[in-house]
Every structure is written in C-alpha cells, then in structure tokens.
Homo-oligomer: A and B are copies of this chain.
Amino acid sequence: MTQHSNEPPGAGATTLVANRETLERLFIRPENAEARAALIKYMEQILFGLHDFLGRHVGITQEASLKSLSERFVNTRISEHPARKLSDVIDALIEEIAPHAVNVASPYFIGHMTSAIPYFMVHLATIVAALNQNPVKLETSKVVSLHERQVLARVHRLVYGRSDAFYDLHVQRPESALGCFVEDGTLANMTALWVARNRLLSSADGMAAVETDGMAAALSARGIRRLVALVSRLGHYSLGKSAGVLGIGNKNVLPVPVDMENRMDLRALVRMLDDLSRTEPETRVLAIVGIAGATETGTVDPLPAIADICQKRGIHFHVDAAWGGPSLVSEKYRHLLAGIERADSVTIDGHKQFYMPMSCGMIYFSDPSAMDAVAYHARYINRIGSVDLGIRSLVGSRAATSLALGGALDIMGARGYALLIDHGIELARALAAEIRRRPMFQLITPPSLNILTYRLAPPELARRLARSAPADRPPVNAAINQINIDLQRLQREAGRSFVSRTTLATPWGETAVLRAVIMNPFTDMAILNEILDEQEAIYRDELME
C-alpha cells in the first residue's frame, strides 16, 4: 500500500498510507507485464528465500532464547497506517520468523509427525488460496464439491476397497457421505464419536435424541447412566478430549492395557466389556477404538480381533489411523493394517503420511448414511437434498483442501507414496537393528510401522537395573530417565538434529524414551548413525558423571 499508485505494488515509496487508490491496487488482478513481474518476484522471494533458510537450520535453538524471542513479539496494536509492504512482510518472515521457526523439512528432524513436503505441495496450496472456494455449500464451490467427493471416494476405496458398483452409486449421490474433510485427526476422531453417539441415542426408537435433547435427557430416557469408549492406553489424547466435548466425559474413555508389543490386550478388553455388562448394567459401550499407528510407538492394534468383538456385541468400531492410514498404499506393507476395512469409521491425516501441508484431517465411514446422524440444515444454506457438503460436517466454512490432496494423489500415484512408506518402515527397522547393536542404547519399542522408541542406557546402569530386585529398580531407572531427558534437550538445543521424547510404562516403571519417526525420504542410515553418535557424544561430554 504505497503512496505512489503507479509503481508496482510494494515498490519504492517509504511512507505507507491507506487510500482508495492503493487499496484498489491490492485487489486488482495483474493486467500488465510489470504488475505480473512484481507478483512473480514476490513468489521467488518466498520460495527461494525460505529455501535458503531451510537448507541451513533445524531451527530449534536453546530454551533460554525463548524468553528473549518472546520479548520481540509484544506489539499488541494494529498500526493505523500500513506498517509494511508485502516485500517487507516476506523479508521479515524470512529473516525474523523462519530462522527461529522449526525446520520440519530437515532429514535430521526425526522427532515429529511433521516432515518435509514435496515442493509441489506449496503450489497446490497456492492454488487452493487463489481459487478461494468454500465447500460448505455448492454456491461457493460448485465443481470443487464434486471434485472433493471424488477425492473422498478414492481414499475411502483405499481403506475399504468396496466394489465398483458401490462407488459408482455413492461417489456423487448427494444423500451419501463416504467421509469428510476436517481440520485434523482430533476433529476426525471427534466426528467419529459424534456420529457413533448420535446413532446410539437417536430418535429412531421414539425416545429423546442426544443431538436435539442433550446427553442428560437422552441417557435418562433409556435408563443409561453413562456411555464409555474403550481404547488402548496408547490412544491419542484427542479421544479423551472428544469425549469431553461431546458431553460423554473424558474419564469415560477407558484405557485398555496393552500386551508386550504395545498392542491392545484383547483378553483385557473382553474382561473389561464383560465386567461392565455384569457390574454396570446402566453403562453402554459407545465405541471401541483401534489404533493404526500409535502416536508414541507407531503400533497397530489387532484390528481383525477387535472387529470380531465389535461385530458380535454390536459396538461401533473406530480406527484411529491418523498416522498409519496412508500405509495402505504400499502393496508390501498394507497387510500391517489388515482389518481396517471392517471399521465403522476411520481417521486419516493427510498432513502426516500423505505429506500434505498443514492441515488435512479426514474421517471416513463404512456406511454412506452414517453421517445422516449429524446432518444440519438451515434456511440459507445446506438445504435438504442439496449437494452442499456442509450438511454433514463438524465445521462450516473451510478451505478446499481436497483440491491439493487430489492433485497430490495424481502426481504421486499409489506407487510414489508407497516408496515413501516403504522407505520409512524399512529404515526404521534398520535403525532398530543399529540401536540393538550399540551397547549404549536400549530399544524400547521396535517399529511396527516407521516409529520406534529407545533410550540411552549406559551399560553400567543397564546392568545394575537388570540385576536389581524389583524394589531397587526405581532409583536406577530414574537415573537413566534423567539422562534421556537431559540428552534430548541438549541435542535439541544444539540444533543439528531432533528426536522427540515421551514417557512409556515399562517393566522398570515410568520410562523416559527417545522417539524416532522416520518419514523424510532424505533420512538415511548415515544420518541416523550421526544422530546416535551425537547422542553418545553428548552423554560422554556433558552428562557422564
């Protein structure tokens, strides 16, 4: 918004004022070569300025700087006049923000579920913004809603693999919903439980319905005291949050013990179900949740057996495959998720293993009419019988993320994605072998998919732990825990590489573990060895007493 309106936007003038003339230039589409050149110049600045940053930094600097950084962001006034031109905003982002952001694209950044994205994703995101459609209703999206239905059908087919006839019938049928886009896995899980809740407590039986009458009225009409959902104790915290939001109560998400492989313990599950029906006749089981790629350990629950149990008892079977879902593209490893096709609902995050930019949550349903349980209409939107995708959706207005995912599926193909999936799984196995090989480390949870946990356990301490009587173990284990807590922090602060940390229950008690998530295609065994070497060096140089 410069003073001289015949200059290319953002160029030249130093005094910025807001007036009608400059305002119009901010909205006008580029009609001449000069204006076009300016717009492209900004894109170059964004793509390559950031690129140079991303090539240099992991970006997590020492804890101490957080305070000093936070002191830079205390200007709480919107300036009266324009404060910066676009080029200065871009510069500031590159110079002030990016160096202190987190370089999730680094192959040394193996601690999180946010990784490098293919370059074309940035272009696809640009298209989504430039078209600026709103799929909540046909009148602000039109064909984009039809395209979105096709994308949803493609992923549904990946999960459920129904017949041609099934997809031909439902892909564009306004009354059918194979699933929907939501912001992330949390809202996907919430949508699954919302649907399950409403189907269990609907007005079909002539009694108060939860959606219209509320939880208290719907439960009391049926003589139910509480709903519960069962999930392994490795379940994502969003399940508890969802139950909290939905009026079910987060303590009613009951944690099921896990077996030695961190998979849901089926005998424990059955025992809990039997106990509930014996001792709490007024409790109803809303859903059982199987995990396909646990956040902390990457493990996959025994889905076929859980499906059997749910089927026999008439319980909604939800699978949280936020992480693991896209592994289904791999011919080689899709068997690891066998049973997922029997789920009533499945959560998948596109911004995880479909390598989409933030954010692209999705929820899928086996029954194309399941989402009728959450349909909303209004006078001015989502009229009955319309194709408006906002009818069956937690959110209203949203970006047409499906355009980006659809493009990505075309550009990558199943095999392109499978290369990424296979690389992650196989490299995680190689890392596990390397950790087993190194005397300084203990593998805590081997990878089912591409996540593993381990810890640095100095041989002397490890031996002492192994030899101790159970009662003497806690202080030894606590000492190892502290080493790993410090180690992870020091490595993060050093800024060259990053693994994350969590706490798992092990036979030694609460155990601080390092967590590696292998998804960056440029991460290889050489890099992983560097990361392990660095950890040994940090221990030797800074932590060993």
Contact = CB atoms under 8 A, between A and B. Distances in A.
A270 interface: no
Nearest to A503: B379
In order of increasing CB-CB distance, the 6 nearest A-B pairs are A247-B247, A214-B249, A125-B129, A100-B143, A215-B247, A18-B416
Nearest to A103: B131
B84 A522 contact: no
A30 B132 CA distance: 28
A139 B59 CA distance: 10
- Tell me which of A23, A101, A214 has the highest count of chain B C-beta atoms within 10 A of its own C-beta: A214
Contacts of A129: 117, 121-122, 125-126, 357-358
A62 to B, nearest CB: 11
B357 A249 contact: no
A376 B97 CA distance: 27
A47 B40 contact: yes
A254 interface: no
Contact of A90 (B98, B100, B122, B123): B123
B27 A118 contact: yes
B1 A184 contact: no
Contact of A220 (B29, B155, B216, B378): B216
A268 interface: no
A374 B241 CA distance: 9
Contact of A215 (B214, B377, B521): B214
Contacts of A379: 296, 502-503
A27 to B, nearest CB: 5
Contacts of A82: 410-413, 415-416
Contact of A416 (B23, B104, B522): B23
B101 A413 contact: no
Interface stretch (A49-57, A336-344, A425-433, A436-444): A49-57
A118 B380 CA distance: 27
Contacts of A194: 245
Given A119-B9, A410-B79, A23 B420 contact: yes
Interface in A91-113: 93, 96-98, 100-102, 104-105, 111-112
A3 interface: no
A542 to B, nearest CB: 21
B23 A397 contact: no
Interface string A258-284: 000000000000000000000000000
Interface stretch (A205-213, A309-317, A454-462, A526-534): A205-213
Given A24-B522, A55-B29, A172 B73 contact: yes
A295 B380 contact: yes
B18 A241 contact: no
Interface stretch (A144-152, A298-306, A363-371, A466-474): A144-152
A154 to B, nearest CB: 5
A395 interface: yes
A200 B121 CA distance: 44
A494 interface: no
A26 interface: yes
A445 interface: no
Contacts of A217: 226, 249
A537 interface: no
Nearest to A296: B380
- Tell me which of A16, A104, A140, A407 has the highest count of chain B C-beta atoms within 10 A of its own C-beta: A140
Given A133-B102, A215-B214, A397-B185, A414 B78 contact: yes
Interface in A350-374: 351, 357-359, 361, 374
Given A104-B132, A140-B104, A212-B251, A126 B122 contact: yes
A384 interface: no
Contact of A410 (B60, B83, B249, B409): B83
A81 interface: yes
A50 B132 CA distance: 11
A403 B378 CA distance: 33
B77 A157 contact: yes
Contact of A398 (B60, B71, B183, B500): B183
A133 to B, nearest CB: 5
B101 A154 contact: no
A332 interface: no
A544 interface: no
B73 A147 contact: yes
A26 to B, nearest CB: 4
A452 to B, nearest CB: 14
A130 B60 CA distance: 18
Contacts of A346: none
Given A84-B410, A140-B104, A411-B82, A130 B123 contact: no
26 contacts: A20-B419, A26-B119, A27-B119, A43-B126, A46-B126, A50-B127, A60-B139, A73-B171, A75-B154, A78-B414, A81-B415, A84-B411, A97-B144, A97-B147, A114-B397, A122-B126, A122-B130, A186-B394, A211-B250, A213-B251, A214-B249, A237-B381, A237-B382, A240-B376, A358-B397, A359-B398
